[in-house]
Amino acid sequence: MFSFRKCGPTLALICSAAVLMPFSQRAFAESAGYYGVGETPTEEQIAAWDIDIRPDGAGLPEGSGSVDEGMAVYETYCASCHGAFGEGMGRYPKLSGGEGTLAEDRPEKTIGSYWPYASTLWDYIHRAMPFFAPQSLTDDQVYAVTAYVLNLNYIVDGDFVANKDTLPKVEMPNSGNFVWEDPRPDIQNERCMSDCKDEEVSVADSSQGKNLTPSTTGPLDEGLIE
């Protein structure tokens, strides 16, 4: 085993240089790039991850799908979980109904009662559905099933054809009830670093008080607590 104790003063200097040289050469070789690892992604690799769709429809691809075409896609890939009419199966969520329930203790958040934008509905279906094989549907199939579930909620007519031009124009029933400015006080206050308040601190407001956190009261929650 190598030991500096086995070297004299002069020999130790030579030994040190001999030992450290490979490390300095390696450090120089690894200085290329940020940490010397990885590689610059290609345009194709970036495009594979850049799949988000904006509320204004930015990012929606070419293609289209009608309500009728969507019914066939839905029956094949979606009905086993969400029911033939979006009523939900077992513990899988409902896609339709729930109007007027958002203020109740057990709200039914569906496409018709809750979802803010039709374009982001396309994004979610494309990104995460069908549950057993996400991102396996073609763009046309996603457009079609988006049109179909919108029709299940009576948001579009039966002759509606979804594409990158029509989806952003669909007005969702709950779009005006979202708060887009973050009202949480703890992210807007200036942090105190010295001579801070030395008095007793009390909580003047909360996210639940601003209706940002659902209430935990109700029969099911009480049962879980017990």
Torsion 95-96-102-105 (CA) sign? negative
Q: Which two tokens stand for residue 24?
A: 């300095």
pLDDT(187) > 70: yes
Distance, in Å, from the CA atom of 136 to the CA atom of 74, rounded to the nearest integer, reads: 14
Q: What is the mean pLDDT of the chain?
A: 81
Which pLDDT value is given to residue 15?
44
Which pLDDT value is given to residue 1?
43
Helices first, then strands: H and E counts in the chain: 7, 2
What percent of the chain stands above pLDDT 70? Answer: 76
The one-letter amino acid code at 88 reads G
The one-letter amino acid code at 84 reads A
Count Cβ atoms below 10 Å from residue 99 Cβ, excluding itself.
15
Convert the pLDDT of each residue in 103-149 to its tens digit: 998 899 999 999 999 999 999 999 999 999 999 999 999 999 999 99
Average pLDDT estimate for 15-37: 53
**Exposed, middle or buried: residue 97 (CB in 10 Å: 0-12, 13-18, 19+)?**
middle
